[in-house]
Amino acid sequence: KQGIVVAGGQGSGDDLTQLSNPRGVFVDELNTLYVADGGNRRIMRWSKEAAQGCVIAGGNDSGGKSNQLNNPVGLSFDRHG
């Protein structure tokens, strides 16, 4: 019935508490939240007690390098995480 804001609400930006055009959300069995942050070209993760997120993929502008994403739009995980 009640939630908490872990990101967003501070306008667009690439700070660890901001999102820009989020396009996918996933919560795993440990209540870890993952967000495809399309505008910032990154995948973010918040553990259950986290005050701010951490970048787990991307966040290095768009491009073809292995550490770059171009507007991620969704998330999916298999049974092994």
- Beta strands 33-37 and 22-27, pairing class: antiparallel
* Confidence (pLDDT) at 64: 83
- Residues of the chain with pLDDT > 90, as a percent, come to 28
Question: Taking 90 as the threshold, does the pLDDT of residue 3 lie above it?
Answer: no
Question: Taking 80 as the threshold, does the pLDDT of residue 58 lie above it?
Answer: yes
Question: Taking 80 as the threshold, does the pLDDT of residue 9 lie above it?
Answer: no
Domains recognised in the chain with CATH numbers = 1-64 (2.40.10.500)
Q: Which two tokens stand for residue 18?
A: 């901001």
CA distances 51 to 12, 37, 71, Å, are 18, 17, 25
